[in-house]
Amino acid sequence: MNLVIDAGNSFIKFGIFEGTQLLHSKRILSKDFTETLISIRHTNPQLEAVIISSVGTLSKNAVTQLQKTFPTALFLDNTTKMPFTNCYTSPTTLGVDRLALVAAAAQCFPKQNTLVIDAGTCITYDFKNNKEEYLGGAIAPGLQMRYQSLHDFTANLPLLTSKFPQNDIGTNTNESIHVGVSTGLIHEIKGVIRQYCNTYDDLTVILTGGDAHFLSKRLKNGIFATSNFLLEGLNYILAFNTTQ
C-alpha cells in the first residue's frame, strides 16, 4: 500500500492506494497535518511507500514529523524521475503539482494528446503530446482569486462567493461580478481548449481541482472531470521510482 500526500496552497490531501486503486482520501487544513499523519500511520501499519508533493508551505515541524514517521518518503522535486519527457525550459521553477498531473495523464491516456486543466487556487493548463512529451502550458488566477482580487483592489466592490448568474448581462453589481468572474472563466477555459483542438488532433481534456465540479456544469460533454487526478499521478510517480 502507498500513501500519497498533496500539500497544496489551500489544503492538504492524503490518498491511500492499493496498486492503482485509491482506497481512501482525506482533505485537511495544514494545521492538522501532524495529527493526521500519525493517525494514518497508526491505522495503516502496512503502508510501504510514501510520496509528498508540496507547493504550499509545510512547517519545519511538519516536515520533521513526516521524515520521522516515514523515513523513506519521497519528496517530489524537479530531479525526480518522471514517466514522460519534460520539455519545460525552466524545470526548476515548474510546480511539482503540475508534474504529478502530467504523470497522471501519461498513466491514464498514454500516447494521446492530453490537456490537463487544474482548477484550484490558480488555474493551470498542462499539455502532454502523443509522444509522451510535456510541452508546458499556462498559469492563470483561479476562481476564488478572481473574486478576491476584485474586492481587494477596488474601493467598493463586495467579496462574493462563486455563482453562475442567470443571464450573460449583469443588471446589478453582484450579477456583473458573477458574469465577469464565473462566466468569464468558462469562456477562458473554452477558448484555451479550442486553441489546442485547432492545433492537435484527438485532444483529451481533463478537468480537475477544487473547483472542477462547479465549472464542469457549464462545460460541454467530452471533458473528463475528476477530483483525484493529482493523487493518481503521485501514486504513478511513486511506483515508477520504486520499480526502477
CA distances from 232 to 5, 46, 51, 164 (A): 11, 19, 11, 30
Residues carrying an active site annotation? 97
Three-state secondary structure call for residue 29 = coil
202 φ, ψ (degrees, to nearest 5): 50, 55
pLDDT-derived band at 244 (thresholds 50, 70, 90) equals: low
Give per-residue pLDDT as tens, 213-237: 999 989 976 789 888 999 999 999 9
Question: What is the C-alpha separation between 6 and 230, in angstroms, rounded?
Answer: 8
> What long-range pairs does 163-168 form, CB within 8 A, spacing at least 24?
164/217, 164/218
Q: Answer for the pair 181, 140: CB distance below 8 angstroms, yes or no.
A: no
Question: What is the C-alpha separation between 229 and 240, in angstroms, rounded?
Answer: 16
Rounding to the nearest 10 degrees, give the CA dihedral for residues 120, 121, 127, 132.
-70
Can you read off the three cell numbers belonging to residue 236?
504513478
Question: What is the C-alpha separation between 77 and 97, in angstroms, rounded?
Answer: 10
CATH number of 2-75: 3.30.420.40
116 φ, ψ (degrees, to nearest 5): -105, 125
120 φ, ψ (degrees, to nearest 5): -120, -140
Where exactly are the structural domains of the chain? Answer: 2-75, 85-234
Q: Answer for the pair 186, 219: CB distance below 8 angstroms, yes or no.
A: yes
Question: What is the C-alpha separation between 134 and 118, in angstroms, rounded?
Answer: 15
Give per-residue pLDDT as tens, 136-171: 999 999 999 999 999 999 999 999 999 999 999 999
CATH fold of 85-234 reads: Nucleotidyltransferase; domain 5 (3.30.420)
Answer whether 0.85 is exceeded by the pTM: yes
Question: What is the C-alpha separation between 211 and 69, in angstroms, rounded?
Answer: 32
Give per-residue pLDDT as tens, 44-86: 999 989 999 998 778 888 889 999 999 999 999 999 999 999 9
